[in-house]
Amino acid sequence: MPIRLLSSEVASQIAAGEVIERPASVVKELLENSLDAGARSITITIESAGKKLIEVADDGSGIPSAELELAVSRHATSKLVRADDLFSISTLGFRGEALASIGSVSRLTVTSRVEHEQEGARLQVEGGKPGKLTKVGTTVGTTVRVEDLFYNVPARLKFLKADVTERRAIDSLVTRYALAYPDKRFKLSDGKNVILQTTGDGDRRAILAALYGVDVAKQMLEILSEEEGSRLTGFISPTSLTRSNRKELTFFINGRWVHDTSLSSALLQAYHTLLMVGRYPLTTLFLEIHPAEVDVNVHPAKAEVRFRNQDKVFSFVQRSARKALLAYSPVPNIAPSLWGTAHIVPSETTRQVGIDWDIAHDEQLFAGDDQSPVSSHQSEITTRQPEVQISSFSTIPLLRLIGQIGATYLVAEGPDGLYLVDQHAAHERVLFEKLMAQHVMKNIPSQTLLTPAAVTLPPQAASLLLSQLPVLRHFGFDVEEFGPNTFQVRAIPALFMGSDPSAALRALVEDFEEDETPLQNEIEAKLAARVCKRMAVKAGQALSAEEQRTLLNDLEACDSPRTCPHGRPTMIHLSVDMLERQFGRRGAR
Ligand code: ADP
Ligand code: MG
């Protein structure tokens, strides 16, 4: 085929493909335009999950009628003049492409009026071709109607998911923008029902309830952290509230929803050793940094950014989240299911539980049909902790030891009820924190063994161990190569005196093999966690009263006493309140 210039129509459709992927992308672009126009109130109406209709009406500054035609043409924007402006940009849009793109793949109608004009104007665009401008009487602001999205791009149409899925994407997007802009009034409806409505009173937690339900919203920890002109606000879940995937990690950077893997991993590092393997937190974080520090022009839909100083941002996010987590990690209460009562509370009930939770628009926030995000999200959330006790201390209260049961758990009494402590998990935590503390001080006392222990390993494991010998030495292990695939353990950390050194070494290498190349900066903590797991007292091991007491005291002294280094809980709390209810001493008279 000869080389030809594409017709402008085809070129536009191809370009539109980058920006407009699905109905939710249209909603995102239109929302951003309304926000850029300074709207205080934004009303979104969708039909058939946005496939048939998306209408976004705002009370922003409007578009002068003389500029309306320009607004819908490609590379037309009022938001920047020079490419340099990108680094001081405070608007969400800048590419001048959204309206043109939407217009080339739908039937688009823009109606708008500015303050100083008596009348408004309306312009229709069909398949990229603008019609005639007409005068209309209307209020100040802009209404954009997008009908029959992709009607002229049947291939795209086929890629759209079921209405339920497309609708969920829109719900989730609008809710997150509402959360990012709590001072604006958002209303989302599907023509029949109001799906989401916010008051614009600035209360983020009320909007959070629309996203996750009242019960979960109540438990989320608030973050407010400032440093050298950067500001991080928002919510992160306590360690007891997790998901099996990363989908609930939400970041806004300077008011823009972005998907940034480095921010996600900064956040996950903050949860390091606090969550079970394969579990992820729920977070909605808003980062504000100087526009010059971030390049927003690296992705057609503006969904990704690049930082000038990524390490700095990374560390700021990680430290802020970690601090919030450590300041508050409640002891998991015993799950009601253990008592033969309800399992995870179904979402509808969950939402109604919060009677004391003051949300003016509770019923209107997600008027809950089955497709609303509330119900769909809720079912996936693990609520291991139906009744969190709000306590501002990460530490555990002073506990009075009662004894050991099944040679596995310690029983203790605290100011608010009964505590069951898993001796193995607790000891793991104690050893881990002691070892890491010594490691930070660069002073891990090592104890020489009277008789060195010899360990022979399979070749692969041996070479792995060989590569990690320097790290082991840091931790007070003195291990030497002693012939082919054989090692001699001469000393171990004093902390572990009395345990079997060769078993520990074997266990370490076994775990190494299962790992896909651990990151160097994580390897030390991982190693420490492994050694501690191996060296900790086991379930089924009888402890003397003295040992039990020491363990409890040591646990009380830990920074994160409530979980083992692998994220499992070290204790279960049966509050006085719960005991009273279980025994029918409360409420039933
Ligand atoms: P961009 O947002 O990147 O500038 P768009 O194609 O989204 O590009 O919009 C083009 C222009 O139309 C904007 O720069 C703005 O001047 C105007 N515009 C679009 N939507 C609105 C709105 N809701 N209110 C006021 N002006 C708008
Ligand atoms: Mg725009």
- Which residue's alpha carbon is nearest to atom 12 within ligand 1? 71
Bridge pairing between strands 141-147 and 107-113: antiparallel
Q: Is the dihedral of CA 537, 539, 540, 542 positive or negative?
A: positive
Instruction: Tell me the ligand closest to 38's alpha carbon.
Output: 1
Mean per-residue pLDDT over the chain, rounded? 81
Q: pLDDT tens digits, residue range 538-560? A: 888 899 999 999 999 999 988 88
Cα(305) to ligand 2 centroid in Å equals 17
As a whole number, mean pLDDT of residues 357-380 equals 35
Confidence of residue 356 (pLDDT cuts 50, 70, 90): very low
- Which residue's alpha carbon is nearest to atom 14 within ligand 1? 77
Cα(529) to ligand 2 centroid in Å equals 49
Write down the pLDDT at residue 517: 46
To which residue do tokens 């020489």 refer? 448
513 close to 460: Cβ distance less than 8 angstroms: yes
As a whole number, mean pLDDT of residues 332-361 equals 33
Cα(33) to ligand 1 centroid in Å equals 5
Write down the pLDDT at residue 186: 97
Q: pLDDT tens digits, residue range 422-437? A: 999 999 999 998 888 8
Q: Select from 77, 94, 108, 184 the residue to mutate for testing ligand 1; criterion: most ligand atoms less than 8 Å from CB.
A: 77
Tokens, residue 443: 């002073």
Q: Select from 18, 28, 33 the residue to mutate for testing ligand 1; criterion: most ligand atoms less than 8 Å from CB.
A: 33
Confidence of residue 369 (pLDDT cuts 50, 70, 90): very low
As a whole number, mean pLDDT of residues 465-479 equals 82
Write down the pLDDT at residue 394: 56
Closest-lying ligand 1 atom to the alpha carbon of residue 101:
6
- Which residue's alpha carbon is nearest to atom 17 within ligand 1? 71
Q: pLDDT tens digits, residue range 253-312? A: 999 999 888 899 899 999 888 887 778 899 999 999 998 899 888 887 778 889 999 899
Q: pLDDT tens digits, residue range 91-104? A: 888 888 899 999 99
The residue with greater pLDDT, 516 or 32, is: 32
Distance CA 526, CA 505 (A): 14
Distance CA 162, CA 349 (A): 28
Q: How many helical (H) and strand (E) elements, i.e. helices and strands, does the chain have?
A: 18, 25
Q: Is the dihedral of CA 557, 562, 567, 571 positive or negative?
A: positive
Cα(23) to ligand 1 centroid in Å equals 18
Q: Select from 40, 89, 95, 99 the residue to mutate for testing ligand 1; criterion: most ligand atoms less than 8 Å from CB.
A: 99
Q: pLDDT tens digits, residue range 158-197? A: 889 888 889 888 988 999 999 999 999 999 999 888 889 9
The residue with greater pLDDT, 16 or 139, is: 139
Q: pLDDT tens digits, residue range 119-143? A: 999 999 998 899 999 999 999 999 9
Confidence of residue 387 (pLDDT cuts 50, 70, 90): very low
pLDDT exceeds 80 at position 340:
no
Cα(123) to ligand 1 centroid in Å equals 14
Q: Which residues line ligand 1 (CB under 6 A)?
A: 29, 33-34, 37, 58, 60-63, 71, 76-79, 93-100, 142
The residue with greater pLDDT, 308 or 484, is: 308
For the ranges 28-42, 220-234, 367-381, the maximum mean pLDDT occurs at: 28-42
Write down the pLDDT at residue 317: 94
Cα(77) to ligand 1 centroid in Å equals 6
Cα(24) to ligand 2 centroid in Å equals 14
pTM beyond cutoff 0.85: no
Tokens, residue 566: 């692998």
Indicate the SS3 state at residue 504. Answer: helix
Cα(100) to ligand 1 centroid in Å equals 10
221 close to 325: Cβ distance less than 8 angstroms: yes
Instruction: Tell me the ligand closest to 140's alpha carbon.
Output: 1
Going by the DSSP 8-state scheme, the letter that residue 280 receives in this structure is B
- Which residue's alpha carbon is nearest to atom 19 within ligand 1? 33
Instruction: Tell me the ligand closest to 112's alpha carbon.
Output: 1
334 close to 181: Cβ distance less than 8 angstroms: no
Closest-lying ligand 1 atom to the alpha carbon of residue 76:
10
Q: pLDDT tens digits, residue range 496-525? A: 887 788 877 776 666 555 443 444 546 677
Cα(256) to ligand 2 centroid in Å equals 12
Closest-lying ligand 1 atom to the alpha carbon of residue 92:
2
Write down the pLDDT at residue 413: 93
Give the residue among 196, 184, 219 at the shortest CA–CA distance from 42.
184
Distance CA 536, CA 61 (A): 66
115 close to 36: Cβ distance less than 8 angstroms: no
Distance CA 562, CA 557 (A): 11
Give the residue among 546, 561, 531, 542 at the shortest CA–CA distance from 429.
561
Write down the pLDDT at residue 380: 39
pLDDT exceeds 70 at position 88:
yes
pLDDT exceeds 50 at position 336:
no
Give the residue among 363, 273, 387, 260 at the shortest CA–CA distance from 313.
260
pLDDT exceeds 60 at position 401:
yes
Write down the pLDDT at residue 547: 92
Indicate the SS3 state at residue 547. Answer: helix
As a whole number, mean pLDDT of residues 23-35 equals 96
- Which residue's alpha carbon is nearest to atom 8 within ligand 1? 96
